[in-house]
């Protein structure tokens, strides 16, 4: 009984990893979006949260170059890296912040913030992160 349950959990994960390997993209195991999920953050409130809790690693401008993040492998996500952030959904951003990197198949060096921040603060900070995603680095001349 228990074995069958474990097998049913492992099989889809293995399939996802296989697909990721074929497509040559890192596998992301993101749990399905709950029906009721909708991002409802206030980016202007989220900015203060970002400055105090996130900028140390992700950088003031979201370029992933905060001093506390410089030594991390993998490095903190650069939110202004359009290529990296392409196709990342609101749910994935929210879950990464709420439950930490491993909840979306990323490194544990991205800490979980549920418990430290309120759910509304997490909505707010994700809304702010999205404003940085909309400002990709200008191309070098």
Q: Applying CB under 6 A, which of residues 78, 110, 127, 133 lies at the interface with ligand HEC?
A: 110
Given the rule CB under 6 A, which of 1-9, 15-23, 37-45, 102-110 is the region that contacts ligand HEC? Answer: 102-110
In the complex, minimum distance from the CB of residue 140 to ligand HEC, in angstroms, rounded to a whole number: 23
Q: What share of the chain is helix, strand, coil (3-state, %, to 5)?
A: 50, 0, 45
Structure tokens at 108: 């544990």
Contact 68, 57 (CB under 8 A): yes
Q: Applying CB under 6 A, which of residues 41, 91, 125, 127 lies at the interface with ligand HEC?
A: 125
Q: Applying CB under 6 A, which of residues 54, 78, 127, 132 lies at the interface with ligand HEC?
A: 54
Q: Does 133 bind ligand HEC (CB under 6 A)?
A: no
d(CA 122, CA 46): 8
Q: Does 48 bind ligand HEC (CB under 6 A)?
A: no
Binders of ligand HEC: how many residues, by CB under 6 A? 27
User: Counting beta carbons within 10 angstroms of the beta carbon of residue 136, is it exposed (0 to 12), middle (13 to 18) or buried (19 or more)?
Assistant: middle
Q: Does 41 bind ligand HEC (CB under 6 A)?
A: no
**Angle of CA points 126, 131, 133, to nearest 5°:** 90
d(CA 91, CA 30): 9
The residues of the shown chain that bind ligand HEC, judged by CB under 6 A, are: 53-54, 56-58, 68-69, 72, 74, 76-77, 84, 88, 92-93, 96-97, 101, 104, 106-107, 109-111, 113, 125, 129
């Amino acid at each position: 009984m228990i074995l069958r349950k474990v097998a049913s959990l492992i099989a889809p994960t293995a399939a996802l990893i296989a697909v990721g390997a074929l497509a040559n993209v890192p596998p992301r195991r993101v749990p399905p979006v709950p029906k009721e999920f909708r991002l409802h953050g206030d980016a202007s409130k989220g900015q203060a949260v970002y400055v105090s809790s996130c900028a140390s690693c992700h950088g003031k401008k979201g370029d992933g170059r905060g001093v506390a993040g410089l030594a991390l492998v993998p490095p903190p996500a650069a939110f202004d890296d359009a290529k990296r952030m392409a196709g990342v959904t609101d749910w994935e951003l929210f879950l990464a912040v709420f439950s930490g990197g491993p909840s979306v198949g990323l490194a544990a060096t991205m800490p979980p913030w549920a418990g430290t921040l309120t759910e509304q603060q997490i909505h707010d900070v994700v809304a702010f992160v999205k404003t940085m995603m909309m400002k990709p680095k200008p191309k070098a001349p």
